[in-house]
Amino acid sequence: MQDLREGLINAFWLLATFDSDLVEITLRSLQVTITALMVASVIAMPLGTFLAIKRFRYRRLIVAVLNALMGLPPVVVGLIVYILLSRSGPFGVFGLLFSPTAMIIAQVIIMVPLIASITHQTIREIWSEYRDLMISLGASKVQRIQALLWDGRRPLLTASLAGFGRGIGEVGAIMIVGGNIDHATRVLTTAIALETGRGDFGLALGLGFILILLAIIVNFAIHMFAQTERQSLW
Amino acid sequence: MKTFLCAVVMVMIMTTSSSADQLRMAVTTSFHNSGLASILLPEIKKDIGLTIQLLVVGTGQAIKLGKAGDVDAILVHSKSAEQALVDSGYVLHRREIMFNDFVIVGPSSDPANVRKASTAVEAMQAIASAKSTFVSRGDDSGTHLKERDIWIGAGLDPVNFEHWYWSVGAGMGVALNTATAQGAYIFTDRASWLNFKNKADQILLFQGDPILFNQYAYLPVNPSKHPHVKANFSTNLENWLTSKRAEALINGYKINNEKLFFFNAKR
């Protein structure tokens, strides 16, 4: 309990003094996860939509695998990305290991199945409602996809936020591929792991509270931009 | 909104890209947790303009990183593993820098009576015969290898130990936390212990046996095996680490008035 109170006090002081290390690792957390989220959304949303509206032979199998991969263990993803990016691995020549880029790659892999699965579920439901109407109106393929994505924007936003949540709090993969290097790849979650290792639970908890606060602020900001949850708009 | 987000991301990417002289070095958790790294790194930056990116891992992983060419140099403490690495040709040589020592920490009630032991082997035998909970790093780190050597020197093999022997497979800090939570005995380096903040009821119970000597050595990765490593930087760093300036800083580093590391590089 003592540690919890100390954690709250630490969080307050770190914020109040605008600690420069804190600002740095917080921005890096955001940079890694938001970049990964954008890349993952660009891959996963068309993939989910495609799986929802196109009928082909192994569709059911692919959807089942995608759903299963929502629970992909980050530490395994980290290890695989590590081996691929290591100097003695197949992509070693790029020298990407222990860089923010490596962390982004790992997080994209973690996020894609989650976002694609939710997108697939969402678009499938809308498509079953709109299908006959769209065909009778003679909408082109592009028009159909546009309409589906637009009308599914709220659930798709939820898909993105779920991806963000999975990424921002993740530590297993980015610890392995990023290496938790001070001023290079240290982010909030790896800093928390480090301070816990030093036995400084107060500081670790302080950073933890800041991480939670950050997640709340980002979610709130996205809702503001997207104008959801307003009285006049459902 | 999209353009705004894109702009934000672009700015973030640009602000984190860095230039300047950088060197990647894998170090052991015990070296980093001691706090010495945060003393030396700014001075190195000041003196030779080199920014060192530290990868804090166990000795086992540090050696692996050096072999794969993922780091430019390593600073570890396990002589036999280091010698094997030198023999394999993946590093240029092994240069001894400094030493500290290992200690045995445990609950102040000391159920196994480790306090009374006269040698480290005796202390470990006392723990084993009392079957008091003992937390082991279990991660092939230098500390773990040393601990295993002492068990074996005591005529015991950790493989045969029962459930009182906890192999946690983690860094020094995590293992110390586990020992504190369980009131268990643990084998640790002195620096990590002195710098550890979650001591609670744990105290230092055994120290001073020459067998507990802990030598740190610097091994630059061989550029003929991995042409991308920054050999000139790793040589600069080696020269600095063995200089008079480093000697003064290392010998002058104290926690609670206790000296943590002893410089012993040969010039």
Residue B70 and residue A100: Cβ atoms within 8 Å? no
CB contact under 8 A, A35 and B9: yes
Whole-number pLDDT of residue B152: 94
In CATH, what number is assigned to the domain containing residue A44?
1.10.3720.10
3-state DSSP helix/strand/coil percent for chain B, to nearest 5?
45, 25, 30
CA angle A44, A47, A48 (to 5 degrees): 85
Q: How many domains does chain A have?
A: 1
pLDDT tens track for B28-70: 887 888 889 999 999 999 999 999 999 998 888 899 999 999 9
Alpha-carbon distance B220 to B39, whole Å?
A: 21
Q: How many CB pairs under 8 A join A and B?
A: 82
Q: Which of B130, B148, B129 is nearest to B138 (CA)?
A: B148
Nearest CA in chain A to B65: A86
Closest A-chain CA to B41? A182
Contact between chains at B53 and A182 (C-beta distance less than 8 A): yes
Domain range holding A173? 2-233
| Number of neighbouring beta carbons within 10 Å of residue A194 | 23
Distances (CA, A) of A165 to A37, A90, A143, B16: 10, 31, 31, 23
- pLDDT per position as a tens digit, B92-107: 999 999 999 999 999 9
CA distance B247 to B266: 11
Residue A34: phi and psi, rounded to 5, are: -70, -40
pTM score = 0.81
Q: What is the ipTM of this complex?
A: 0.73
The shortest C-alpha distance from B240 to chain A (Å) reads: 21
DSSP H stretches of helix in chain A:
2-16, 20-53, 59-68, 74-85, 100-137, 141-151, 153-168, 172-178, 188-197, 201-226
Do the beta carbons of residue B134 and residue B166 sit within 8 Å?
yes
Contact B177 A197 (CB under 8 A): yes
Where would I find the H helices in B17-78? Answer: 29-33, 36-48, 59-68
Q: Is the pLDDT of residue B144 over 50?
A: yes
